[in-house]
C-alpha cells in the first residue's frame, strides 16, 4: 500500500500544501469506505477510472492505489472547488496529496463542474472501467452525474455512489435499480456513524418540520429521525450489464 495512504489510515489526518495538517475524521471517507472502493476497483480489474469530487483527495488515493497499473492507466477527477479559498481543502490539497503519493502521472484533473466536463469527455470518446460519484448530493445533479457516467462506463464496469444515506442519492439508486441495465454488486452493509454534515442535515429537517411554513412541503421520508431510514449503508456499487437499450417510452416508477 502507498505510504501516503498508510499514513492517512493510521492518523486520519492529511497534509495541506502549506505544511499544516487537517483532521479529516468528519469530512472525508472512512477507512472502511476506502477499502470498499479498493475492492470494487479490483473487482472491475480497472485500469481507467473516473471520480466526481476530489476535496482532500482521500478517495482518490484509495482508488489510484488499487488501479491495475500499466502505461494506459488513468484516473480522471473533476472538482470545480479544488482551489476554492473558502473550502477546507483550499490551495489544491487533493492534488497535492496525489502528487505526494506519486500518482501525478496517472491523474487527469479537470477543475470544472461535472455537467460541463463529462459531456465533453463523452464527445472525445473516453471510456472507463470504474466510476465513483461523490459530487453535488441533490437528486438532479446526482442523477445527471450517473447519466453521463453511464455513457462513459464500459459494460462490465462498476459505478459506486457515495452517501447513499442521503434521501436524494438513495432515490437515484432506486432509479438505477428499476430502470437501467445494472445489477447490485456490493454495498457497505452497516450504516457509518453520522458525519458532521449529516447531523446538520437532520437538525435542519427537524427545524423545518416544526415550522408551519415548511411542514406542508416536507416529504414523510425526510422528517426528523427518518431522514436516514435507508436500505444500504453509506456506499453502494452497481455493475453495468449492458449499454442502455430501453424503448423510448420506457418508464418504471421508482
User: Which of 6-15, 135-144, 217-226 comes out lowest in average pLDDT?
Assistant: 217-226
The verdict on 153 and 169 lying in the same domain is yes
Compute the distance between CA of residue 164 and CA of residue 62 in angstroms, rounded to an integer. 19
Q: What is the pLDDT of residues 57-75, one digit of tens each?
A: 999 999 999 999 999 999 9
Bridge-based pairing of strands 235-240 and 153-162 is antiparallel
Whether residue 247 lies inside any domain: the answer is: no
Whether residue 253 lies inside any domain: the answer is: no
Whether residue 132 lies inside any domain: the answer is: yes
The verdict on 23 and 58 lying in the same domain is yes
User: Which of 138-142, 145-149, 222-226, 247-251 comes out lowest in average pLDDT?
Assistant: 222-226
- Integer angstrom CA distances of residue 198 from 12, 23, 87, 170, 202: 19, 17, 18, 14, 6
The per-residue pLDDT for 86 is 86
The verdict on 49 and 31 lying in the same domain is yes
The verdict on 127 and 161 lying in the same domain is yes
The verdict on 88 and 157 lying in the same domain is yes
The verdict on 141 and 199 lying in the same domain is no
The per-residue pLDDT for 227 is 35
User: Which of 137-141, 163-167, 225-229 comes out lowest in average pLDDT?
Assistant: 225-229
The verdict on 67 and 19 lying in the same domain is yes
Q: Tell me whether residue 92 is exposed, middle or buried, using C-beta atoms within 10 angstroms of its C-beta: 0 to 12, 13 to 18, 19 or more.
A: buried
The per-residue pLDDT for 231 is 53
The per-residue pLDDT for 152 is 98
Domain count, the chain: 2
* Domain span including residue 31: 3-191+232-240
Amino acid at each position: 500500500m502507498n505510504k501516503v495512504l498508510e499514513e492517512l489510515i493510521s492518523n486520519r489526518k492529511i497534509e495541506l500544501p502549506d505544511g499544516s495538517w487537517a483532521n479529516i475524521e468528519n469530512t472525508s471517507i472512512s477507512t472502511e469506505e476506502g477499502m470498499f472502493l479498493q475492492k470494487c476497483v479490483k473487482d472491475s480489474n480497472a485500469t481507467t477510472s473516473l471520480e466526481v469530487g476530489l476535496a482532500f483527495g482521500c478517495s482518490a488515493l484509495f482508488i489510484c492505489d488499487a488501479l491495475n497499473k500499466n502505461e494506459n492507466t488513468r484516473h480522471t477527477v473533476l472538482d470545480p472547488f479544488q482551489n476554492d479559498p473558502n473550502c477546507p481543502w483550499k490551495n489544491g490539497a487533493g492534488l497535492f496529496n496525489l502528487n505526494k503519493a506519486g500518482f501525478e502521472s496517472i491523474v487527469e484533473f479537470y477543475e470544472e463542474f461535472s455537467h460541463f466536463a463529462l459531456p465533453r469527455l463523452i464527445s472525445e470518446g473516453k471510456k472507463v472501467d470504474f466510476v465513483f460519484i461523490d459530487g453535488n448530493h441533490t437528486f438532479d445533479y446526482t442523477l445527471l452525474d450517473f447519466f453521463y457516467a453511464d455513457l462513459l462506463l464500459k459494460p462490465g464496469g462498476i459505478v459506486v455512489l457515495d452517501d447513499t444515506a442521503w434521501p436524494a442519492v438513495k432515490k437515484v439508486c432506486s432509479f438505477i435499480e428499476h430502470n437501467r441495465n445494472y445489477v447490485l454488486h456490493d454495498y457497505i452493509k452497516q450504516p457509518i456513524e453520522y458525519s458532521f454534515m449529516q447531523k446538520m442535515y437532520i437538525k435542519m429537517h427537524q427545524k423545518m418540520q416544526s415550522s408551519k411554513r415548511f411542514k406542508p412541503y416536507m416529504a414523510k421520508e425526510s422528517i426528523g429521525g427518518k431522514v436516514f431510514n435507508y436500505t444500504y449503508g453509506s456506499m453502494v456499487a452497481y455493475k453495468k450489464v449492458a449499454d442502455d437499450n430501453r424503448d423510448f417510452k420506457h418508464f418504471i416508477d421508482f
